[in-house]
Structure formats: structure tokens, C-alpha cells
A and B are shown apart, each in its own frame.
Chain A
Amino acid sequence: MGIDLNVKIGKLKLKNPVMVASGTFGYAEEFKDFFDVKNLGAIVTKTITLNPRPGNPMPRTCETAAGMLNSIGLENPGLDVFIKENLPKLKDIGVPIVVSIASEKNPAEFIELASRLDKIDEVCALELNISCPNLKNKLISQDARATYSVVNAVRKMMDKTIITKLSPNVTDITEIAKVAQDAGSDAISLVNTFLGMAIDADTKKSKLANITGGLSGPAIKPIALRMVYEAASAVKIPVIGIGGIITALDAIEFIIAGAQAVQVGTANFINPRSAQDIIDGLTKYLKENKINRLEDLKGSLKI
């Protein structure tokens, strides 16, 4: 008997729960040489802003213990170029495309981005990146009222699935998770990166030109897992688990903690086939444990 890996997130139907995280998979082109990307549950694009952004100055990545810092700063070609050049190629893959969107200064840009992307059939869902730590202003997702206002404004003008991506740089993740739910988000994804830094003792300079950056990788997994567990216990909408998922067992831990789906991020940099390996490993685990439906694993944490 086949294993049922199907998951539903809002209106989005995925053939398996393994998505690739925004900013770690480009627009999928770079990965086509390494595995058949149409096997993915969904692809979340590199974040798009209304206007092109050059990103932050170099150096903007740095390795840390079991992790890495990045301060890329949302480098992207802007909405027009994305629609004209990147989207047609993404569409041909035949996997649900989730477009990640953000705005640095003006939350109204979320509305404009959403209204234009809503009209495009190939865009299956939007992930609202209100949690990028590499911008100058305070994160929207660190402020409950700002979160409500952005999510709700997008909700009011769009029928497509909305995923709100949350920052772990908050005191109480359940508060923001509930606000996103109340504002009409169909799902939440967490965690974005943890704000961190690294210093070169010889030069006394930060290893990042932007001074601080976002920490990702295995180093953050236990904290991310705890936050996903807390959020999943607090809301009814699906939670997508992100944070240091390298192996299928990492993904399984997040699902047991309550995640409906997962996103693979930093692992794509180390092993471009990671997402495929995780899909295969997850299937194997379910078979070996005689679990026929992924749904039966979700939230199965024994207390």
C-alpha cells in the first residue's frame, strides 16, 4: 500500500510536506542539475520586493558553529522582472509555487505586490516575509499590531493562500502566531533566522559588513523546534516548520512537534539534493513505522 504524504495548507494541496525555504533555492534554476525539482511539495521563491534591491554590502555570509550567518538583504530583481523572467520557468516545473514577498519601508507595498500576484494563475500562494532580520526598520513580525494590519490588509484583497513567515526574535511566539491567525492567514511558517553576529578577533571587525545577520542551520534547530511546538499548540491553522532541517529525521521531529509541513533551507547550500533525500527518508520512516498517512504522524508527540 502506498504511503499518503498529501498535505493541505489553506487551498494549497501538496503531494508531500517538503518545501524549500525562501532565499535558499533561488528561483529553482540552480538545482535542476542535482535532482528532479518537480518532486518537491512546493517551492518558495527568493523574496520579491516591488522594486529591485541590490542587497547589503559584502561580506554577507559567514560560517559559525554548526550554522551560518547571512545578511544578504533581500537582493532580488523586483516584481516586474520576476514576473517576466523567473516565473515562466518556475511555472514549467509543475510544482506549487509560493511567492515570498516583502517590503522594507512601506507596508502598503505588500498590498500592491499581493494584488498583482493574485491575478497570476501560476502563483499558488504568497508567503509574507515580515521577518527578514537584515533590513533597517523594526520587523513587522515583532509587533502584534503591525502584523495584524499587514496580514489582514492582504487577506481582504486576496483569495489565494496566505502563509505568514514569523521571526523567532520575539518574547512570545504564540502571541504573534495567534495574531496572524486572527488576521486571516491560512498558515504560518517559522522560524525565520535568529539575529546574530560574529567578530574577527584579529581585525576587531564584524565578519559581516552589515554587522549583524540571521543565524540558520543545525545550530538553531532545538530552539526552532520548541517554537514550532509552542505555535502549533496555540493555533488551529497549519504550521510549517523551519529551522536547521538537514536530515529526514530533523523533518520528522518537526512534524511530531505539530508541523503540517516543513521547509528545508540552509541544507540546500550544503547538499543541493537535501530536499529529495528528506522526501525519501520521510517515506522510508513512515513505511518502517507502519504509518500509512503523514497526517497520523503530525502532532504525535507523547507527553
Chain B
Amino acid sequence: MRVKIFKNEQVAGHAYKMTLAAPVIAKFAQPGQFVMVKCADGIQPLLRRPLGVHNVKGSEVEILYEIIGEGTKLLSQKKSGQALDIIGPLGTGFKFPKGSDPCGKNILIAGGMGVAPLLFLAKKINKSQVLVLIGAKTKQEILCKKEFKKLGCNVKVVTDDGSAGHKGFVTDLLQDRGHLFKGVPAMLYACGPKPMLKAVSEFSKRRKIPAQISLEEHMACGIGACLGCIVNTKSGQKRVCKEGPVFDAREIIWE
């Protein structure tokens, strides 16, 4: 479907946020789902790009992205008022406590652009305490800290170079916060680079704390037809675009 671009702005050195007038997607989108975006009309680039739903405000949908190639570069050049061809919401998102569900502790773990789908999740989780651990290469690349705080989340940051917060990996914070997981049921939600997701999965297994991880994969179709984004799980091969992108960490068979 064609939707109208409201805003397309640079929010950090490397990151852009696009706001779309997309009432249908806004109505049905669940945290962890994504949209397939055609970055240019015509046949170059040919395929759509999968981008996570970052936030929903009324009838508006936000996507957060960085320039990683030709498609996202073209996307960054789009102006407000222009139309965008997108399909969505697609995929299977996070399972999280809603309404009067018992909530326990919810820990959101974001690496780099992995914050994109987690802001929408933080917004949707019912009133429980949400702890957000954000990891990035440098201070400049920490995204959404303010937005998470606005939602009332407890936010901790980590950088590779120590320019903000703890120096090291976002998973280090998880180890340090072992006490958080005593007594109350907890759930980890993670999105970020593969090594981080693997580390979260190992932590989850070791400490017997359930984790849901959102995988990123190149996709041709995004709707389950091409079988180009397969992941090996304990219950066989799954499509990241259809059965995922969010999976139970215990299910994934890491290479």
C-alpha cells in the first residue's frame, strides 16, 4: 500500500526516523513486527527492505533505520509529503504481559539499531517496571534513551569505548544484575547483532530465565514465500519473516 511520509529526519549521526501516516498498519502492528519498504519506485533496488515498527502514535507509524546500503540511502533522501510503498505489519512479534496479566520483571536489551522494535514494546508492556539496557559503539550512537525514560523505564547504557555508561558489552550489565532475577518471574527481550543475541541466549539458558530474541536477516519477500531467511531451530527450519523475527531463545540452534 502507498502511505504518506510525514517526517523523515536524522536523529543521530547514523540514524534516521521516518514517520508515516499509516492508519491500517498503526491499528494492527504488534511490537516486534516489521514492514517491507520499497525504497525507490521501479526495479533498482529491486527488493523491499525489512524495517521494524519502532513506534505507533495514533494513526502514525515510526520506523528507525540507519544507512547500510543503496536502499536505505535512498530512503534517507525521501521528503515529507512524498508517498512510500510499504507492506505490513508482517511477522510474529514479542509475547508480553498485557492488561491484567501478571507482569514480573521485563528486561529489554538493545544493541545498536536493535532499539528500533523495543521502544514500541516498552510502550505496550503493561505498567510493570521495565529495565532497558542499551548498548552502542559510542555515546553518539546511543539511541532512544530519552524516549524510554519518558515511558518510565529504568535505562542503563553501555558503550564499546566507554564514552557513555559502562565500558563493555550490554550483556555485562545482565551478569551484574543477577539479583534482579531472584524471586520474581522475569523475561528478557533482546534485539541487536547476532553475537549479542547469542550471549543473551546463553545467559538465559544458564540462569533459566526465558528470553525472546528478534533476529535480523536479509529477506527477499518478507511474507514467507521465498525461503531465503531460514533459521535452524529445535523444531526444524523456520522462516525469520514469518515464524519470526522474534523467537524463544531456547529454540535457536546457533552455528
Contact = CB atoms under 8 A, between A and B. Distances in A.
B249 to A, nearest CB: 19
Contact of B46 (A29, A30, A68): A68
A75 B218 contact: no
Contacts of A59: 218, 228
Nearest to B224: A30
A261 B242 CA distance: 31
Contacts of B226: 23-24, 61, 70, 72, 269
B224 A26 contact: yes
Contacts, number: 80
A26 B43 contact: no
Q: How large is the interface on A (under 10, 10 to 19, 20 to 34, 35 or more residues)?
A: 20 to 34
Contacts of A248: none
B221 A60 contact: no
Interface of A: 23-26, 29-31, 34, 46, 54-55, 58-63, 65-68, 70, 72, 75, 217-218, 246, 266, 268-270, 272
Contacts of B87: 272
Nearest to A73: B227
B185 interface: no
Nearest to B47: A63
A26 B228 contact: no
Contacts of B54: none
A60 B226 CA distance: 10
Contact of A269 (B43, B44, B45, B47): B47
B225 A25 contact: yes
A68 B43 CA distance: 11
Given A62-B218, A270-B48, A218 B43 contact: yes
A29 B224 CA distance: 9
Contacts of A24: 225-226
B59 interface: no
A266 B47 CA distance: 9
B38 A270 contact: yes
A63 B39 CA distance: 14
B237 interface: yes
B220 interface: yes
Given A30-B223, A61-B228, A72-B228, A217 B218 contact: no
Residue among B44, B47, B217 with most chain A CB within 10 A: B47
A68 B47 contact: yes
B221 A268 contact: yes
Nearest to A60: B228
Contacts of A63: 45-47, 218, 220
B230 interface: yes
Contacts of A60: 227-228, 230
A63 B221 CA distance: 11
